[in-house]
Amino acid sequence: MAKLYFRYGAMNSGKSTALLQAAYNYEERGQHVLLAKPDLDTKGDDRVVSRLGVTRRADVLLAPDVDVIAVFERARDEVRERTGSDVACLLIDEAQFLAPAQVDDLLRIALTSGVPVLAYGIRTDFRTLAFPGSRRLLEVAHSLEELKTICRCGRKAMFNARTIAGRYVFDGDQVAIDGETVTYESLCGACYLEESGGVLA
């Protein structure tokens, strides 16, 4: 039986790098993978982008209301027609942006198609609140793995602090993709509390 995996971590913990490495490992052995990401992630347009400079075009962009199973089956059929073999793995980048119902579809894909699903994403937003997609993945995934990174103080980072024009902010929309003025910093709990004035959420 195939499984649904959720590999999560704070910003800059190497999630996209790990996803691209997993894709490479499958393909090095002559197997075929599908890469997908929510279209809400506009960073890199239709590409999965690693901080190390490695990029790769996603095979599928997932709109918030799209039927993930139907999209997967169409992409799977295209791989079969083109290569004569099946998909070995479905890889999802920025999985926190999925709707909970789409995460349920990922579980159904793993359980009914025999294709393992590896979802990579952030657990919580800049206010320490779970993204809906991440919350559902934490509830239903067969396997959970934390990808670790470090805070500026050297401790393990677990929170994502948002800065706008160099100032920390702790209110606003849950989603604000990096831009000219919006950036993020991975912080440990102590440094997050120091910057937020002791406020969580």
Active site residue 94: yes
Of the residues 78, 81, 94, 180, only one is catalytic, namely 94
d(CA 161, CA 100): 24
d(CA 146, CA 137): 13
Contact 75, 34 (CB under 8 A): yes
Q: How far is CA 129 from CA 4, 86, 124, 152, in A?
A: 23, 38, 5, 22
* Integer-rounded Cα radius of gyration of the chain: 17
Structure tokens, 73: 């089956």
Catalytic positions are 94
